[in-house]
Structure 1
Amino acid sequence: MAKDHSPANYKCFHFLCYLLFFLCFLYSISFIYYSHCSSPCSPQTTINSPPYNHSSTINLISFPSSWNHLSFSSNPPPRHLKIALFVKRWPRQNLAGGLERHALTLHVTLARRGHDVHVFTTNSSFPNSSLPYYSNAALTFHPISPSPGGYLNQALAWKEFQIQNSSQPFDVVHTESVGLFHGRARNLTHLAVSWHGIAYETLHSDIVQDLLREPKEPRHSAFSDKLGKVVEEVKFFRNYAHHVATSDHVGDILKRVYMIPEERVHIILNGVDEEIYKPKPSSTISFRRKFGVPESAQLVIGMAGRLVKDKGHPLMFECLKRAFMEDSKFKTSVFVLVAGDGPWASRYRDLGPNLILLGPLDQTQLSEFYNSLDIFLNPTLRAQGLDHTFIEAMLSGVPVMGTRFASITGSIIVGSEVGYTFQPTVESLKESIFKAFSDGRAVLRKKGESARNRALRLFTAKKMGAAYERLFLCISDNLYCNYPLPADREK
């Protein structure tokens, strides 16, 4: 009998294939979620306890856990590297995303340790044609005209790189994400790429956002295209010699799902400047007064970043709206400070005087902002990378509250002693906020101390810079792949 090749059967077959993939994906997400610990959980999880015997010598290339758990020499190495950095944009004051801020923090730290850093980026990063200056850090900038789409022009950047490389070859090349495309990167063995978000993570984000979609709201047109993007990444990621995962979760995904050999995947968690973000008790009262927070406030919650949909602000708006309606005490005694700007700013104003919009803040102002808080909350729906705002708050001695994504629970909020986590639903978020409210300031201060201690151990610019420095040295000279070296043992 002839087979039925009707369009209806084809559609049914394709639907079953997508359904099967979707169910497999949900299973993998559940496995990763539970294996990486949900809150509350024990602080001693396998992902945060690297299998390293401090009396033995190891090869760093095969070290399976975060390099932030290791202690490298605080003294600059005897060998100084010539480093090429490819980054799409260079930060402009407070107008920068996490990737750009990572590039700034890391490479200023490396330059201050004596390394010769060359930055290949778009000239649109410097609108006044004046290149930035950083004290005790000599960075050489190579501004490149952007592509028609506003990105780093790969052909021009590569030509400038070759000119600089011909006089004295670079010891190592670092690209922030696809600052340097894989077509050219595949020919460089002394290259490392840092990933601040991968397509596989966006699938989880898209599922969450689709579940929160209003009944009459249309599904995003790109929803079904993300599967193809994951496949494309799996294909071209292998062209980069070394991969730096900025969270424990991404390191696991790069090894298991993207099938990159373990010796080419290195986990180095993000860090921020510990000299800027630190406890400053004297600024707490003055900052609150400046923006109209009364001394009678029992809880001050803070949020920071772009006020857009995928950062969770529709979820947060609905949560606060219900909380203010359901609990009169909460409405009169809880104040929410929001640093940043975006479409949801106007919606937040509708919640009343207890919701205070601060607008974009520079780093000094952000430091004062964190110090004015009882708790910092990030309602993000994007399960990508390792958000700097969590780290900035923790270094400031503030407990944190975040969405229960694997990157957050696996690296940041590893237990209830540093903060709270919630499922990306209104009810779960509201429950966590009310829990923090009922716990009170004494409990929150204790959590803040634990959060700062964890951040000092793992998330400082010095810690991140020392780990990247060692990786770059290792890439250029195998001698530095041994750990510990005599200099590492010096106190």
Structure 2
Amino acid sequence: MNICMFCRVVPDHGRGGMQDVVFDSAKNLVKIGHYVSVITTRHPKGTTEKIVNGVKIYFLNKTRSQKYGADWDREAKEKLVNLHTKQPSDIVHTQGMAAIWLPRFLKEEGIAIPTIISLHGTYWDELKTSINVMTHPKTFFSIVYSSALILLFLVNHLKTMFRIRMFDLVIATSPEQREILRERYFVSSKKIKVVLNGIDTHLFKGGRCLANKGISLLVVARLNEEKGAHIALQAVKELTNLIRDIQLIIVGDGKDRKYLKSTAAKLGISNFVHFVGFVPLTELPEYYRSCDIFLNPTLRQNGYDLTILQAMASGKPVITTNIGSYPTAIDSGKEGFLTSLGDINDLVEKILILYKNKQLALDMGKNGNIKVEKMFTSKQMAKNLELCYLKLTKK
């Protein structure tokens, strides 16, 4: 099949869950015999097109890098028509809201191609994330900013509600997302298919056993408020009174890095916290292998971060927040623990349980590895997408 995808970002734009999922699914679809092209926003260095692992990527350089807008809509439509004229597409698939205009546009152009939208999150999720941040703020400004975002996301939620229902198939990345699409967007159950996101399990594998003394905690995240790294810092502050040899490794970068370093200093835990900064995907496995427990105290509602799957594949117990789609990945008490939103005491309690019971931590790590291999590989993700395509095209 000739598959044309739309996405705001690809790995050339930087690290992130969306770009990893899109590119992993695309390259695995190529491996099983399909032709895949991806239309995306301007390349940071001006590249117009390239082929990576058999995937043809088109960068629209009249657009803003990683941003939507009238320029993106116009040029993306032109590129789609141009590609379809040269080699007709069998499926057009937008990742997220990148090409939410697809069904109406194709109808206006008289082009009959099945359309699919994958929703890794929705504006409803963004709205709830803003509420989470507002109720667990790092500063007073967070409350003001989140209040403004709530109104914006509510408007966008209402604007996209009808347009999502126009697609031939709507892909949810978890059962929780499926229910949001049914209950908040009124999408027919017959139109929704759950396709779980996956990771490259050849890259992420089991690591060392837990240390006999002390404990090493790991956070891998973009450093902004909704990812909850500030909550991890407060938990470590409490733990330094109970565990002498403790360290928190924070991998990632973002606008809050300076604030988080300042917070660590104010809490008196700078000697226990190490800010690594950005790490390439190929170097991440070593950080997972070297930690004892992976922390993800996120406030972000939509989906589940790929980092928890990477940690699970690496054989590490995961402690994350009981919101969004995280219960799909973590069965609390089996692969790790789910904690209450923004609850520092709950997070501390769960860390102490694993610190005091290393066999439980090891068992959870093994359970997580098994679960990822069974449910969350990039190969399975691509195969499930292929089944969706075949059903729509009747091929």
TM-score (norm 1): 0.72
185-194 or 199-208, larger mean C-alpha shift: 185-194
How many angstroms apart in 1 are the aligned matches of 2:365 and 2:178?
27
Is 1:401–2:319 an aligned residue pair?
A: yes
State how 1:4-403 maps to structure 2 within 5 Å.
81-92=1-12, 95-125=14-44, 127=45, 129=47, 134=52, 137-147=53-63, 151=67, 153-182=72-101, 184=104, 187=107, 190-213=114-137, 218-220=143-145, 221-281=148-208, 297-324=213-240, 327=241, 329-330=242-243, 332-342=244-254, 343-344=256-257, 345-347=260-262, 349-350=264-265, 351-403=269-321
CA offset at residue 133 of structure 1? 5.1
Check whether the contact 2:298–2:321 (CA below 8 A) recurs between aligned residues: yes
CA offset at residue 206 of structure 1? 2.5
Check whether the contact 2:250–2:274 (CA below 8 A) recurs between aligned residues: yes
Count of aligned pairs: 377
Check whether the contact 2:217–2:249 (CA below 8 A) recurs between aligned residues: yes
Q: Summarize deviations over 1:456-487 as a string: whole Å, max 9, x none.
A: 0000011111101111111111x6xxxxxxxx
Check whether the contact 2:47–2:59 (CA below 8 A) recurs between aligned residues: no
Q: Summarize deviations over 1:193-245 as a string: whole Å, max 9, x none.
A: 11111122223322322222379555332334433332223232112221111
Paired residue secondary structure (2:198): coil
Instruction: Decide which structure has the larger Cα Rg and report it.
Output: 1
How many angstroms apart in 2 are the aligned matches of 1:397 and 1:150?
33
How many angstroms apart in 2 are the aligned matches of 1:146 and 1:316?
41
Paired residue secondary structure (1:222): helix
Counterpart AA for 2:61: S
How many angstroms apart in 2 are the aligned matches of 1:88 and 1:239?
20
CA offset at residue 412 of structure 1? 0.8
How many angstroms apart in 2 are the aligned matches of 1:429 and 1:475?
45
Select the structure with the greater relative contact order (CA < 8 A; seq sep ≥ 6).
1
How many angstroms apart in 1 are the aligned matches of 2:139 and 2:275?
30
Q: Summarize deviations over 1:101-155 as a string: whole Å, max 9, x none.
A: 1111110111111211111112325x16385554xx3222222124358635221
How many angstroms apart in 1 are the aligned matches of 2:329 and 2:124?
20
Provide structure 2 residue ranges, at least 5 long, that are not aligned to the other structure.
none
How many angstroms apart in 1 are the aligned matches of 2:73 and 2:88?
19
Provide structure 1 residue ranges, at least 5 long, that are not aligned to the other structure.
1-80, 286-294, 480-491
Percent identical residues:
22
How many angstroms apart in 2 are the aligned matches of 1:455 and 1:265?
23
**Equivalent residue for 1:435, pick from 338, 350, 353:** 353
Q: Summarize deviations over 1:254-290 as a string: whole Å, max 9, x none.
A: 1122111111111011001111111244xx89xxxxx
How many angstroms apart in 1 are the aligned matches of 2:139 and 2:5?
46
Paired residue secondary structure (2:43): helix
199-208 or 112-121, larger mean C-alpha shift: 199-208
**Equivalent residue for 1:449, pick from 362, 366, 372:** 366
449-458 or 156-165, larger mean C-alpha shift: 156-165
How many angstroms apart in 2 are the aligned matches of 1:387 and 1:211?
21
Check whether the contact 1:269–1:386 (CA below 8 A) recurs between aligned residues: no
How many angstroms apart in 2 are the aligned matches of 1:149 and 1:366?
25
Check whether the contact 1:191–1:241 (CA below 8 A) recurs between aligned residues: yes
How many angstroms apart in 1 are the aligned matches of 2:50 and 2:155?
39
